[in-house]
């Protein structure tokens, strides 16, 4: 079941197409990665979801029906460019923003008390925002994003500017939100975090969706049947041992070990590689090289670029 979907969204800014027929389905309870290079149109798309700007064309669906203006109360949004009123106190500001999201005064107070306690922020309540460090401010911002317990959370580059400790705390909190039943859209350049967190991704490049699906499936598609092996006691060169259909990509020495990466044809399996090696070498390790999201990202984007040049 999709919590949110977008159908053929297009948006144009003075002669420049920011989004071109973008369709996306976000399954309920998933962490959805919205990826793409700078200027691809991610932020525009997120702003459209938040109804900050309207699409020129296309439809948005929330929970199976068309998105309505007051669905903003079901959405929590942490923008990439985020800030707070510097001269206001933390508590006042948190109360104000929580009430903007539709909470009653008492309810806002109750929830804020809970979170301020949990994040050990009690002592900040009467401090002005400008007295807080950047990391502390980001905690406040995060808390405000989730305070109304939205069904759909949108984080635009959430980790930028966080130190490793806070980043890991944030990551845990995002996972906790998911476990509580929230669906999360997560826009980032940080491919390591995508790999760690996301179930689904959409890769937007040049205003279009160029790659879309479950992370596991995508990785499978981009698998190249390449293996990395390490061995000792070899009696012959690898090129003499392996069947001719196998390609040796690289060979090198790592201390006492001899290393190599080998690509096998798609009709043969890892067992064939192992059995052809075993009579001649002592095998220390055998790993299938699965492309990481970083590689896939670069591959897709650069391919697009060359295509664009060719066209």
Residue ranges that bind another protein, judged by CB under 8 A: 14, 47, 50-53, 72, 75, 77-79, 81-86, 97, 100-101, 141, 144
Q: In the complex, what is the shortest distance from the CB of residue 87 to another protein, in angstroms, rounded to a whole number?
A: 9
| Calpha distance 9→175 (Å, rounded) | 29
- Residue 73's nearest CA partner among 147, 133, 2 is 147
Q: In the complex, what is the shortest distance from the CB of residue 50 to another protein, in angstroms, rounded to a whole number?
A: 4
| Calpha distance 307→211 (Å, rounded) | 15
Cβ burial of 205 (10 Å; 0-12, 13-18, 19+) is buried
Q: In the complex, what is the shortest distance from the CB of residue 230 to another protein, in angstroms, rounded to a whole number?
A: 50
- The answer to whether 2 touches 24, Cβ cutoff 8 Å, is no
Nearer Cβ to another protein (98/273): 98
Q: In the complex, what is the shortest distance from the CB of residue 80 to another protein, in angstroms, rounded to a whole number?
A: 8
Q: In the complex, what is the shortest distance from the CB of residue 221 to another protein, in angstroms, rounded to a whole number?
A: 35
Number of other CB atoms surrounding residue 231 within 10 Å: 19
Nearer Cβ to another protein (56/195): 56
Alpha helix positions (H), the chain: 42-49, 90-100, 105-118, 134-146, 164-179, 191-197, 215-221, 238-241, 270-277, 293-310
- The answer to whether 60 touches 66, Cβ cutoff 8 Å, is yes
Nearer Cβ to another protein (139/258): 139
Nearer Cβ to another protein (76/291): 76
- Residue 94's nearest CA partner among 131, 143, 135, 127 is 143
Q: In sequence order, what are the residues at sequence separation of 6 or more whose Cβ sits closer than 8 angstroms to the Cβ of residue 214?
A: 199, 200
Q: In the complex, what is the shortest distance from the CB of residue 113 to another protein, in angstroms, rounded to a whole number?
A: 21
| Calpha distance 200→212 (Å, rounded) | 8
Q: In sequence order, what are the residues at sequence separation of 6 or more whose Cβ sits closer than 8 angstroms to the Cβ of residue 200?
A: 26, 27, 30, 31, 32, 33, 213, 214, 215
Nearer Cβ to another protein (101/151): 101
Nearer Cβ to another protein (55/291): 55
- Residue 276's nearest CA partner among 250, 244, 253, 252 is 244
Q: In the complex, what is the shortest distance from the CB of residue 123 to another protein, in angstroms, rounded to a whole number?
A: 23
Nearer Cβ to another protein (60/203): 60
Nearer Cβ to another protein (72/174): 72
Q: In the complex, what is the shortest distance from the CB of residue 16 to another protein, in angstroms, rounded to a whole number?
A: 11
């Amino acid at each position: 079941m999709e919590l949110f979907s977008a159908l053929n969204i297009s948006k144009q800014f003075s002669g420049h197409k920011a989004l071109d027929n973008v369709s996306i389905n976000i399954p309920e309870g998933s962490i959805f990665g919205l990826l793409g290079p700078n200027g691809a149109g991610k932020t525009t798309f997120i702003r459209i979801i938040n109804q900050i700007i309207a699409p020129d064309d296309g439809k948005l669906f929330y929970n199976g029906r068309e998105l309505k203006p007051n669905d903003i109360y079901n959405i929590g949004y942490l923008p990439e460019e985020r800030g707070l009123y510097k001269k206001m106190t933390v508590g006042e500001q948190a109360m104000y923003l929580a009430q903007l999201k539709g909470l009653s005064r008492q309810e806002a107070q109750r929830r804020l008390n809970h979170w301020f306690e949990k994040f050990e922020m009690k002592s900040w309540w009467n401090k002005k925002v400008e007295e807080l460090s950047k990391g502390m401010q980001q905690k406040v911002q995060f808390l405000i994003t989730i305070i109304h317990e939205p069904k759909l959370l949108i984080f635009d580059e959430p980790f930028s500017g966080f130190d490793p400790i806070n980043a890991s705390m944030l990551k845990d909190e995002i996972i906790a939100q998911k476990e509580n039943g929230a669906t999360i859209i997560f826009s980032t350049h940080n491919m390591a975090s995508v790999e760690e967190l996301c179930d689904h991704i959409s890769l937007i490049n040049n205003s279009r969706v160029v790659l879309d699906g479950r992370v596991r499936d995508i990785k499978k598609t981009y698998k190249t049947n390449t293996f990395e092996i390490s061995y000792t006691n070899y009696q012959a060169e690898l090129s003499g041992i392996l069947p001719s259909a196998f390609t040796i990509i690289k060979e090198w020495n790592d201390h006492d070990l001899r290393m190599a990466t080998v690509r096998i044809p798609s009709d043969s399996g890892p067992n064939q590689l192992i059995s052809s090696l075993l009579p001649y070498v002592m095998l220390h390790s055998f790993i299938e090289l699965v492309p990481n999201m970083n590689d896939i990202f670069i591959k897709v984007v650069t391919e697009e670029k060359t295509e664009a040049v060719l066209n």
